[in-house]
Structures are given as C-alpha cells and as structure tokens.
Amino acid sequence: MIPVLLAVIAAALPLTSAHIAFWHPSIYGFNVTEQTFPYDNRPVVPLQDMTFQEWWFHNHLAYPPNPGDVFEFPAGKAATAELACNKGATTWFNSSEGGDIRNGNDPCPGSPPSEYHTTGFNDLKGCAMAIAYEPDVTKIQPEDFVVFSVNQTCVWNRFTDFQVPARMPACPEGGCHCAWFWIHSPDSGSEQIYMNGFKCEITGASSTVPLAKPKVARRCGADPDHGKPDPVPGNCTYGAKQPLYWLQKERNNEFEDAQAPPFYNDVYNFLDGAQDDIFEDSYPNGIPDPSPEQTIIPTPVNAAVAALTSTPSSAAASASASPSSSFPFFLDRVDYINWRPTTIRSWLPQIHRFSTHGCS
C-alpha cells in the first residue's frame, strides 16, 4: 500500500528536468520545447558528442530573442542570473509548459542536488559568463568569446550573481552577445558541457580599452584528484581566456578525457568573480609563454593605475609598440613578484606627472 501511495504522490508532483540552463528572455531558444526539434533540444539539455552546428549556441540560432530582450551587465557591479532545471522554476514560469513550480532560491524544486550534477556544496566546479563584442550572431566564432565573470559556487542557487569587471567597455551599436557556460563535477552524472547564448549589454561603462584576444585556458591549479597536489603557476594562461569547449565532435579547445574534465575554477586559472585582467593593457610587460617549467609569473597592472594611464589611443598603440613607449617608465620597472599594494603610494607623484605631461 505504501509504495502505491508514494507512486501516486510522485505522479502528482510537478516534473522538473535534471540539468540546468540560464533562463532569461534574451536567450536564443527561450521558447524551445521538447517537441521543437526531432530530438530534445530544450535549453537545459546538456551538450555531448555533437557537431558544431548542434552544440554552438545550442543549435538555437534560428530561435532568436525578441527585439528589446537584452540581459544587462552593469560595469563594476554584480548581475543576477537565474539558473534552473525548468523555466517553471524561474520568474518566467508563465511561458513554461508545466506552470509555476518556483521554490525560492532552489534551482531544481523537488529534486536532490544530484539532479543538477553535484554531491554537495563542496563538489561544485563553477560556471562562467563570456562575451563577444559583435551584434551579428552569425559572425561570432568560438574564439571570439572572452570569459569575463566566474562564479565558482555554481550551480547551487537559482539566483546566481556574476561580478562584472569595472573596466568593461560599452557594446557596439546593436549590442553584444554573451553566453553562459558550465561543466559539472564528474562525481554525479555523465560528462557534458552546457551553453546558452543570449543578447547582452554592458551598462554604466566608463572605459574604452578593448578586451584582449582570448587564449585557450590551461590546466595549472592544484588537482589532488589527479595526482597533482600543488599548483603550477607557470603553466597557467593569464589574461583573456576562451570558454572551455570540450567533449564534442568538432571545434574543441580542451581535450581531457571524461574522467578529468576542465572546470571554471582555479584549476584552469578562472578565479572567482570578475576577471579583471582581460583587457589589452592589463599586462604592459607582456605575458610569457606558459609551460610547466616557466618561472616568470606575470602580474596585471593595478586597475586604478591603468585607468589613469590608459587612453583609447595609448591602448590601441600598446599592441604594436613596446611597453615603455605606451606606459610610464615606473610601470616598466615594477618588481611584480615582490609587489605590495602599499607601493602604489610611491607611484602617485609620477602618475600625476605622467597624466599631466606624459612620458619624458
């Protein structure tokens, strides 16, 4: 009798799907249902062993958002995203097939954490937001996206904050495109990637320095689960980084096996929060080639100093000119390894002189 009763109760509960998506009217495929494609291609469905067309933007490019539906990222502040197993668990439940199943901050109402691929809070591996400064989605390639914000305790809450770098420049006319990316722990469920692309804008922008060309992230952090108890900082990718494209038939940039997936956390030098070193002038002395034997660890210029010393013209020149021709001499001579925050006090008179008279 009890098993029958439990079955009746379970049947009466609203259904959620195991997996997660970023939900907002700005996403491509916002109204895609299980019946839209010959296969289940709802935004929550994971991506694995797919062709480029199938995984890129979740194969939702033919289902764009309505004009005016844009997700805003405020420069220097946090943007709150809604992550959930089902649209019915979000603010936009009224366009969900299953209706309102919201339960506060729960990303997957009625389901244990294993349904969103974690054994618990300490098993979370992080997710990321990336941006391409291109209004025409058909022109965007995987190499164009730059990760600008990481939340390492993702997915755990429906309402998830993403800190935005203060120096993010404004989008061009027509807006930007962004994408949410996630790779979960191998401890709970088979491995895949998650991607939801959407229209976005940067609000409150005050900087005009462009983002640097992103590079492929490298495994470099402490990884005791795979026999590497200590980090290898020289093997890290510093500065702007591409998202982790993995486990597909085409266009991968990461090639680990399914037992050692790449993550949006310290293992790949995706630090928690705003990625403040992704700009063209973030590393005026350059970035050495990463390798396990590399001993030179670059340090980005202090953001406050960069804001004072960088102008649109100097930022553009930095790509072709030597650091000393585009940046004040005292920045070229900083001992980055032994740098301390208090040293900026000794720079202030020279910063003022440079901003007033330029280099001499």
How does pLDDT run across 141-196, given as a tens digit for each residue? 999 999 999 999 999 999 999 999 999 999 999 999 999 999 998 876 678 999 99
Comparing 180 with 19, the larger pLDDT belongs to 180
Give domain limits for the chain.
Answer: 2-274, 303-357
Model pTM score: 0.81
Structure confidence by residue, pLDDT tens digits, 71-98 = 999 999 999 999 999 999 999 999 998 8
Contact (Cβ atoms closer than 8 angstroms) between residue 69 and residue 8? no
Distance CA 145, CA 134 (A): 10
Q: In the chain, helix, strand, coil percent, each to 5?
A: 25, 15, 60
- Residue 303: pLDDT band by 50, 70, 90 thresholds? low
- Give the residue from 163, 159, 178 showing the smallest Cα distance to 243: 178
Amino acid residing at 307: A
Looking at the domain 2-274, which fold is it? Coagulation Factor XIII; Chain A, domain 1 (2.70.50)
For 357, the 3-state DSSP assignment is helix
CA distances from 67 to 30, 64, 71, 197, 352 (A): 13, 9, 12, 15, 46
Contact (Cβ atoms closer than 8 angstroms) between residue 74 and residue 82? no
Share of the chain above pLDDT 70, in %: 76
Least confident piece of the model among 20-24, 63-67, 158-162, 355-359: 355-359
Distance CA 49, CA 314 (A): 44
Tokens 């618990």 -> residue: 120
